[in-house]
Amino acid sequence: MGLWQTKIDKYPLHYGGKMRPTSPFAAELTWPVYDAAVRDGKTPILIPIGSMEQHGHHMPLHVDVLLPTEFARRAALETGGLVAPPFTYGYKSHQKSGGGNHLPGTTSLDGATLVAALRDVIKEFARHGVRKICLVNGHFENSWFIIEAIDLALRELRWGGVDDVKIVVLSYWDFVDKDTITRLYDDNFPGWDLEHGGVLETSLMLALYPDLVTLSAAIDVEPAKFPPYDVYPVKPEWTPPSGTLSSPKEASAEKGQILLEVCSAGIAGALRAEFG
């Protein structure tokens, strides 16, 4: 909350005769303050979408919730938006991108469940008056189900005569450009599909929540190698025993700070471009 307090002048309690938010988190507001902020459709709502998924021996299960929520908070500060409560469960972990849904701690939703819940939430925000929504994804496997939820929500809103809702979907790692990858990895970048529990997420967590990371417990593994096909039920032996798909040993808070700056700037820029 400290960073928000430093920018409180952007959102005084009374602005132009209207109550304004004193927190970037929608759920922390009273309903009259929230209503005044969103009724005219000008305030963006940012919805973090994560998962409960194992992240190796050195990080907690809610990494995919903490990171998109923080990126959403930073973007809200820069664009005058509000952050909705996050989705704390996501779609099933895929073996080649999250280690697999068979691993202990990973707790997932069926695709239809995630789609239905997100569709309903989008429609509810539209009912409040919200017309600008950004879905901030922190779990790769959510991607296609997010798109399906959006498609259904927008279709049903159009049936009800609401056709002016705009939704931006983004994943924070997509803003990491080639120059930043070179700075962080030299020539050892394993690819985003193998970055589960690796340098990217661990560095961000070290920069933001160092008390939740035990780097000494991290297991140094070679990047996972998978065949060019999938098998179901999954073969547990394909996943490294650590649960991570590449080594987090080269992670650092300094690298995390670089990632924070690059991704935060990219997200805020995307929202300004699309929402004005």
Catalytic residue among 58, 62, 195, 196: 196
Residue 227 preceded by cis peptide, ω within 30: no
Cβ atoms of residues 67 and 172 within 8 Å: yes
Residues 150, 169 contacting (CB under 8 angstroms):
yes
Q: Which amino acid is at 23?
A: S
- From the candidates 53, 62, 70, 195, give the one annotated as an active-site residue: 53
Q: Is 195 one of the annotated active-site residues of the chain?
A: no
Q: Is 64 a catalytic residue?
A: yes
Contact call for residues 56 and 92 (beta carbons, < 8 A): no
| Residue 139 annotated as catalytic | yes
What crossing angle do the helices spanning 253-275 and 63-79 adopt, rounded to 10°?
Answer: 50
Catalytic member of 55, 62, 70, 195: 55
**In contact, 39 and 129? CB cutoff 8 Å:** yes
Q: Active-site residue 55, yes or no? A: yes
Q: Is 53 a catalytic residue?
A: yes
Length of the chain: 276
Write the CA distances from 31 to 35, 39, 128, 232, integer angstroms. 6, 11, 11, 47
* 14 annotated active-site: no
The kind and range of the H/E element at 113 are helix 111-128
Q: What angle do CA 58, 60, 61 make, to 5 degrees?
A: 130
Per DSSP, the three-state class of 175 is helix
Catalytic pick among 58, 62, 70, 141: 141
Q: Is 57 in the active site? A: no
Catalytic residue among 62, 64, 70, 195: 64
Catalytic residues: 53, 55, 64, 139, 141, 196, 201
